[in-house]
Amino acid sequence: MTDRKESPEAVDESPGPQKKKYLRTIFIKNSTPIPNWFLDEVLCDPDVPHAARSVFLFLVRKTVGWDNRTEELSLEQIQYGAGVSRPIAIHALWVICECWGLFKKTRGRMGQHSSVYEIGDLSQDNYEDRTHLILRIFDTVFPTPAQVRSRPKPGGKPDEREEPKKLIASWIAKERQLRDQEERSEKAGREIQR
């Protein structure tokens, strides 16, 4: 018997065109790649509830896992696939799509189509930038529905309501401006000290 080492780029032995096989497909067939930063940062973060992790992993499975950039999914499919209740699924999707920007959601027409989820920016830089801004706004990377409701519209009256998608975009834009101003003033202060 000869010892044979498997390389990360082993060649498929099936007839037809030769395909490269990567380590992930050699050891774990039909698998879904998950970004390492998600495993390192989100899984160990006590502020992120288990349900939100489940919803994110379900979205990754249905898109990246099936080599799709977009996927039409009903709320019921997400609830069942992630094992969460309807209100929790709705809120987790809002945080994942609107706050973190990891997926983009396009709402389907009521009774005709489900919402379409498109892969957003799954990079660690995007996640860290967005969560830093969310942390400045809410003091947590995963705001609760009560925290979101208690924040007034920027420049508006406390009881003035706005569509949540526009609201979070305006909060993030305002917070990004404040952060950039702080960074510029810190940089100018360091240059003066030299």
pLDDT digits (tens, 9 = 90+) for 76-117: 999 999 999 999 999 999 999 988 999 999 987 776 778 999
Q: Is 156 left (phi over 0), alpha (psi -120 to 50) or beta?
A: beta
- Taking the C-alpha atoms of residue 142 and residue 120, their distance in angstroms, rounded to an integer, is 18
- Taking the C-alpha atoms of residue 181 and residue 136, their distance in angstroms, rounded to an integer, is 14
| Residue 169 counted as domain residue | yes
Instruction: Give the amino acid at 16.
Output: G
Helix 50-63 / helix 75-82 crossing angle, nearest 10 deg: 110
| Residue 10 counted as domain residue | no
Residue 121: its H or E element: none
pLDDT score for 78: 96
| Residue 150 counted as domain residue | yes
- Show the domain range for 167: 31-193
Extended beta strands in 111-183, E state: 115-119
In this model, does residue 44 exceed pLDDT 60?
Answer: yes
Token duo for residue 56 = 């994110």
Lowest mean pLDDT among 7-11, 38-42, 82-86, 183-187: 7-11
Total structural domains in the chain? 1
Of 78, 61, 138, 131, the residue nearest 100 (C-alpha): 131
DSSP string, 71-82: EEE-HHHHHHHH
Q: What percent of the chain has pLDDT over 90?
A: 40
| Residue 90 counted as domain residue | yes
Q: How far is CA 173 from the centre of its chain?
A: 18
Give me the half-sphere count of Cα atoms (radius 13 Å) on the Cβ side of residue 65. 13
| Residue 17 counted as domain residue | no
Q: What pLDDT digit, counting tens, does each position of 142-163 carry?
A: 998 888 777 665 555 555 555 5
CA distances from 73 to 69, 81, 87 (A): 13, 10, 16
Mean per-residue pLDDT, 14-41: 70
| Residue 15 counted as domain residue | no
Q: Are 171 and 151 in contact (CB under 8 A)?
A: yes
In this model, does residue 4 exceed pLDDT 80?
Answer: no
| Residue 127 counted as domain residue | yes
Residue 131: Cβ within 10 Å count: 22
Report DSSP state, residue 120.
Answer: -
| Residue 7 counted as domain residue | no
